[in-house]
Structure formats: structure tokens, C-alpha cells
Structure 1
Amino acid sequence: MSSASSVPSWNVHRLPRADGSVFLVTGGNAGIGYFVAEQLSATGATVVLGSRNPAKAEVAMASIRARVAGARVRAVRLDLADLSSLPSVAESLGVERLDAVVHNAGVALDDPPREETRDGHELMFGTNHLGHFALTWWLMPLLSAAPEARVVTVGSFAAKSERLDLDDLQSVQGYEAKRSYGRSKLAQMYFGVELDRRLRAVGGTVASVVVHPGGALDSLTPSRPPVHVRSAGARLGAAPAALLVQGKHAGAWPAVRAVLDPAVCGGQLWGPRVFGLRGEPRCEPVWDHLTDASVAARLWDASCDLTGVDPAAVPG
């Protein structure tokens, strides 16, 4: 793995051109996903917002077009909580190849009760992990058609202190919303690392990179009305927090770099430079628990059973 010091300088405010490329950002209509889409749109690429809410996607696209002259942005309907709806996503993109997908969309519940997807999976695990796991399978033919495509999985700093319960992946026993969220993001990160390992084993050309945004708060995020509106009070109240964390526009930087920077390699983990919480993106050591290949393999097998697909294989 390349160290942070071995990669060339990177300017988050002066991104390289990516004309002709096509990028899909799941959950691109709000939060970090919106800023990933906005920043990628400034490179000349075609950016597709994957959103389960067409009205919110339209608002996000209008905001991007108002800020990025000539932005090539459009949307596709995407509901990660409904596995049966995912096969149509690749077709609805209407492209011959996909240069990158940013697996960003997610559900975060703060309180009980435990909820389930249409397929009967715990909502956060089913949406955040299983939905992206299955979506990758359906997108793999388009990704494989690109010269050097990337799957960028957005994890969470909250996953650093969590560990998976492989006997209770769906939080049936002792459900706690925040813990289940952290574990769902950890499952995503295991998936991103293991996907790259399996793609390398079969000589695949697609690379899988894992990123996390550090600490990204709404109150430190610049306004993008009506997508996001930050009041003066919120801005002033959050000023002390800016010493430790950042806004969601900066939380997008690791994912954007993972899509665009040719120095980024599959299997790497990218996050903010300062204590993993704020600052410009850097390559950091993969967290110790994410290197446990036996846990990753068991999670992979369970995910294949639950979704009926294997993302490391191209649908025939």
C-alpha cells in the first residue's frame, strides 16, 4: 500500500478534469453525497445522482447546475432497501460504461424501534450494506467496461470502535440503533476491502477503495438552499467544533479524491488528515479489524446468501 507521503500533491479546490467519464453517486441528493456530486460535476464528468426520491433529486440537480456552469448531472431512481428494484438501475443509467460508483447513501436511525426493509432485513444493515453489495453486482458489467473503474465505499469513523457480531448481523438480539448503524457502516467497509481482494484474485480491472468523512456536521456545512440551509446561529454555535471536525463539503473530499486521483490504489483507506476527523484527504493505515480476512469472508458469504448475488463475479 502506498503511504500518504508517496502520493502527489492534491488540491481539493482544483480538481483534475474528467471529461467523458460517468460517475454514479448513491444518495447524491443530500448530505455528503450532494457535495461529492457537486465537486465531481465541476470536472466535466457526467454525474448521476442515485436517489429514492425524484423530487429531492431534482432540487439537488438544480442546485448543482446553479453553482457549476455546464454541469452534466442527471438522476436515476435508486432504492437500496428494495433489492428487487436494483436490476433496473444499470439499464436506467443508459451508458456503455461506468467509471466509478460512490456508495454513499445510507440510513441512520437514532432510536428504536428496529425497522426492516421490504426484504425483511434490518433497515440500516439492509440499506447501507446489503443494498450496496447487491448494487455492485448489477453495475459490474458497466464498471468492467471502463478502463480503470473504481468502487468507492463511504464508511464512517463511527465504525472504528465497532465490531461485527457475525451470529447476529441483523441486530435481532439487543437492538441498539447507534450500535447497529456503526456495524452497518463497518460491514460496508469490510465489503470494500474484501471486494478489492477478490477482484485482484481474478485479475479484475475494477479497483475498490474505502473512504470515511471523519467528523462532518451540518452546522459546519455551507448552505446550499434549499438542499441545505445553515442559519447564522448554527454557524456561530458550531465554531468551537471546527477545531476538531468539519462540514459535509469537506467530508466529501476523501471520496472525490478516491474517484479522481490516479495515485489512489485499490484496497486503500482514505480519510481526513487531522486525527482522521478533519482536513484534506490522506491515505491512512487500514484499521486493524478491517484486515481480518476471516471475518470479511464470513460476512461476504452471508451477504451472498442474503442477496443472492456475488459482486466479485460479473453477471453472465
Structure 2
Amino acid sequence: MPSTPAAPSGPPPGRWNVHRLPRAEGKTFLVTGGNAGIGYFVAEQLAGTGATVVLGCRDAAKAGAAIAAIGSRVPGAAVRYVPLDLADPSSLKASVEALGLDRLDAVVHNAGVALDHPPRRETRDGHELMFATNHLGHFALTHHLAPLLAAAPGSRVVTTGSFAAKSERLDLDDLQSRHDYRPKRAYARSKLAQMLFALELDRRLRAVGSTTRSVLVHPGGALDSLTPSRPPVHVRTPGARLGHLPLRLVVQGKDAAAWPAVRGVLDPDVRGGRMLAPRAFGLRGVPRTEPLWSHLADTATAARLWSASRDLTGTDPGPGRFAAAP
């Protein structure tokens, strides 16, 4: 009697089920800022696939709390921590060496800083804090990770943008917001820089036939009050949940906001240079491929941003790095 074929481990081609993720045993994923917020839920969901997940973050105690929370939800989860300070590019090479890996299947560029009020703050290198952390740090980190990603066929660089960037444009003559600092605008522009980087990286990788894919995602609208509790990482009170329940028609919790990045890592049908976003107006719902916003297709601005980022960081995560042997 012929044997019965094994049931598929993931959704049929062309379909994606956020509640039935494909298995990923033997793979390793790095999530920057994986100890809190959306990054925590990206890490938790990836851990549920059987993959090894590394949380890249600054605070060891917060990382430990996140690892414990994931372990309580995902029995046998393989999760660990590596110190990572994106505002200090000189430390990133050591952080990558501390991974102790000879290959990396995906990195999720998720960590970010959002300041609401002046004054303008700088890193010790003299860079505006949000631009330095959200964009320059991930740009430099990709440079150091490139050989590990190149060693894993079909690896992914998944970059998390923001809906806030949709109405912004870069000022290439004032990337550091030195002349007219407005915190919310500076944050939105830092996320726009990330998004342009993701698309420019894809163009450069495809030009040399690299198997690494650069995938852009944005999480839509996410509120703590709609996010399920994960003590001690996040605790939601019943009052907060009920008070904001009507907003669920428009936005979502951070668990659902993690879905685009998780799909960007795991879905074999996802192509580089595309943007995954929530289905309902880009704000909530299951992730789907969304047309690029018109200003994201500005290749001249993206190329100039790349050159400026290379000069500011002293790194270049171009295709030559991805061709290097680990």
C-alpha cells in the first residue's frame, strides 16, 4: 500500500495564515529590539516555528524578561540574547562576533527610538539620535552581518518602516535635522531613510544575482491597549482594553503588528523589493503586498542616501560584502 503523503508544514503557495506558520527548525533569526513592543511579538512568533531566535538589544535584564515570557508561551523555545547598541556603530562588529554563528537566515531590523519632545539629542559620534539609531545603526549592522547572511541561501533582511513616513520627504542637505528639529518629523524621516535603504539594498543585491532578499514591511497602527499581556514585558489592564476597544476597527495590537515582519522572514513566496503591510488601509489586518508609495520609488534619493550613510558610518553593506566568504 502506498504511503500517505505528509501534511504540508505551512500554508499552500500564494496563501498566508498568520496562525499557521511554516516550521523553521535549524534556522537562526536575529531580531533587533526583540525585547519589547512589536519586536517582542516578532520574536515570540518566530520562536514558535522551532527556529533559534536571537534578541539584539541593549539591556540584558529586559532581554532576560523577554526570553522568560517567550518561554512561558512557547515550550522549548530556543531564544537567546546578544548585546546590541545601534547608536554606537563602533560596537556592532563585536556584537556580530558575539553571535557565534557561521550563517544567519534572517535579520529583522525592528529596533527604534521615537522622541516626542525637544531638545534634539545626539549620539557620542555627533549624530541625531533617531536617525543614528533607526537608520545608520541598521545600515552599519547589515554591513557586519552580510557574510553571515551570504552563507545562508535565500536569507532575508527584513526592514521595518512606518506609516509615519508616508507623508514625509528626506532633506538630503539636513539628514541630521540640525537646522529645523521637530521630533515627530525627525522620527518619520528616520523611518523613511530605513525604507529607502531596504529598497536600495534589494536593487544592489539583485544586480549581482545574490540570493539574499531585502524585504520592506510596515506594521500599520499598533496600540499597547489592544496588545495582549505578556508579563513582565507588557501588562494590559482590563480598563485600558475596554476603553480602546472601538479603535480595533481602525488599528490593532502589537501582536498583529508583528505579522508583516514574520511573513517577511518566513514566506517562501515573498520577493525582495516589495512592501508587506496590513491589509485594511495599511493600518490593521493580515499582511499583504502593498504597492510602494510613490516617493519610495525615488532611486536617485535612495542612492544619495546610501552614499551619505556610507560616509557617516564608514561601512558599506553592498553586494561585495554579501559575496564574501564567512
TM-score bucket (shorter structure) = over 0.9
Structure 1 residue aligned with 2:286 = 280
1:110 aligns with 2:83: no
1:126 aligns with 2:154: no
Query: What secondary structure, in the 3-state scheme, does the structure 2 residue paired with 1:86 have?
Result: helix
How far residue 7 of structure 1 moved from its aligned partner, in angstroms, is: 6.2
How far residue 167 of structure 1 moved from its aligned partner, in angstroms, is: 0.5
Task: Give the letter aligned to residue 165 of structure 1.
Answer: D
Cα separation, 1, equivalents of 2:84 and 2:96 = 10
Structure 2 residue aligned with 1:248 = 254
Structure 2 residue aligned with 1:182 = 188
Which runs of 5 or more residues in structure 1 are unaligned? 1-5
Structure 1 residue aligned with 2:314 = 308
Out of 258-267 and 90-99, give the one that drifted further.
90-99
Structure 2 residue aligned with 1:268 = 274
Cα separation, 1, equivalents of 2:123 and 2:255 = 29
Cα separation, 2, equivalents of 1:61 and 1:87 = 24
How far residue 89 of structure 1 moved from its aligned partner, in angstroms, is: 1.7
For 1:223-262, list aligned pairs within 5 A: 223-262=229-268
Cα separation, 1, equivalents of 2:287 and 2:272 = 16
Cα separation, 2, equivalents of 1:74 and 1:154 = 21
Query: What secondary structure, in the 3-state scheme, does the structure 2 residue paired with 1:24 have?
Result: strand
Task: Give the letter aligned to residue 222 of structure 1.
Answer: P
Structure 2 residue aligned with 1:16 = 22
Residue 208 of structure 1: which of 195, 211, 214 is its match?
214
Aligned length: 311
| Deviation by residue 1:200-252 (Cα, 9 ceiling, x = unmatched) | 11222211000000001111100001100111111011111111000000000
Query: What secondary structure, in the 3-state scheme, does the structure 2 residue paired with 1:228 have?
Result: coil
Cα separation, 2, equivalents of 1:16 and 1:70 = 17
Residue 105 of structure 2: which of 69, 82, 99 is its match?
99
How far residue 71 of structure 1 moved from its aligned partner, in angstroms, is: 0.3
| Deviation by residue 1:270-294 (Cα, 9 ceiling, x = unmatched) | 0000000000000000111000000
Structure 1 residue aligned with 2:7 = none
Q: TM-score, normalised by structure 2?
A: 0.94
Cα separation, 2, equivalents of 1:244 and 1:283 = 19
Task: Give the letter aligned to residue 26 of structure 1.
Answer: T
Cα separation, 2, equivalents of 1:88 and 1:78 = 9
RMSD: 1.1
Cα separation, 2, equivalents of 1:116 and 1:133 = 18
Deviating beyond 2 angstroms after TM superposition, the runs of 4 or more aligned structure 1 residues are none
Residue 164 of structure 1: which of 155, 161, 170 is its match?
170
Task: Give the letter aligned to residue 98 of structure 2.
Answer: S
Structure 2 residue aligned with 1:27 = 33
Structure 2 residue aligned with 1:218 = 224
Structure 1 residue aligned with 2:75 = 69
Cα separation, 1, equivalents of 2:272 and 2:210 = 11
Query: What secondary structure, in the 3-state scheme, does the structure 1 residue paired with 2:234 have?
Result: coil
Residue 78 of structure 1: which of 69, 73, 84 is its match?
84
Query: What secondary structure, in the 3-state scheme, does the structure 2 residue paired with 1:61 have?
Result: helix
Task: Give the letter aligned to residue 148 of structure 1.
Answer: G
1:154 aligns with 2:160: yes
Structure 2 residue aligned with 1:40 = 46
Q: TM-score, normalised by structure 1?
A: 0.97
Larger radius of gyration: 2
How far residue 119 of structure 1 moved from its aligned partner, in angstroms, is: 1.3
Query: What secondary structure, in the 3-state scheme, does the structure 2 residue paired with 1:158 have?
Result: helix
Cα separation, 1, equivalents of 2:71 and 2:224 = 22
